[in-house]
Amino acid sequence: MGLNDKYVRFLAVFTAILTVGLVAYRFFLWPYNGCEDNVEWQTGQDVPFSTQPERSDKTCYTVKRVIDGDTLVLDNGDTVRLIGVDTPETKHPEIPVQRFGKEASEFTRRMAEGREVTLEFDGPREGVYGRKLAYVFVGKTLLNVKIIRRGYGYAYTRFPHARMAEFIEAERQARYKQYGLWNYSLTDGRIANLAKRYEQLSKEGKMLLEKTWDQLLKKYPGPGEPETETEQ
């Protein structure tokens, strides 16, 4: 057997051993966490690569408890503020419990408390209060946008993020379908919210709101009320 034949056989055996070793490592020794396979790592359309959200360093966490609709505590002690969504306050030291705040907190609790979640970051990882800022996936469900789509929170647009267009569209759909915060019933939704916020308005704000109500009542009289001619 020539030298070239021995060299070829050596390369073939070496390649086969290396392939078997890599396969064994992948299936038997590679750290595995089922949570990652449940997540669809998606980003908004037409977003530059530099602004794409990034994965968490750790695959999975368990939600230890829910503080309110947009804030969670993980099993490692970190507090997470959901990016791009703002739910009514229930724990603010200077603001009374806001309408639909308890419902939003309960929705998030049902969705996430005690369950494994995956974090995705977009920009700074921590806010001014030391809370982690993240998108939170429960399985394949993006909790942030689910809250907005079901009418339990607003699309928070003060700080831009990669999924902002998706979140704004989710709020538009919730408004159109009159879900949750956008319902027009007297005991719930936008009208009840206006009534509860009335006392928080300034004097000028109250006068403007009453003027607006008067204009609406004249333009859209209730049953049995005489219609008022509007100025041309």
CA distances (Å), 135 to each of 24, 87, 230, in order?
Answer: 34, 15, 49
Q: Is 169 considered catalytic here? A: no
Cα–Cα distances (Å) from 145 to 35, 152, 187, in that order, read 19, 10, 25
Measured at the CA of 179, the angle between CA 193 and CA 139, to 5 degrees, comes to 120
Catalytic residue from among 89, 113, 126, 169: 89
Q: Would residue 109 show up in a list of annotated catalytic residues for this protein?
A: no
Q: Is 131 one of the annotated active-site residues of the chain?
A: yes
H or E segment and range at residue 148: helix 143-149
Q: Are 164 and 170 in contact (CB under 8 A)?
A: no
Annotated catalytic residue within 81, 99, 149, 163: 81
Give the CA distances from residue 84 to residues 35, 40, 135, 153, 157, in Å, rounded to whole numbers and listed in that order: 23, 18, 8, 10, 7
CA distances from 2 to 5, 7, 8 (A): 5, 9, 10
CB 189 within 8 A of CB 182: yes
Q: Which of 103, 116, 131, 166 is catalytic?
A: 131
| Residues labelled catalytic | 81, 89, 131
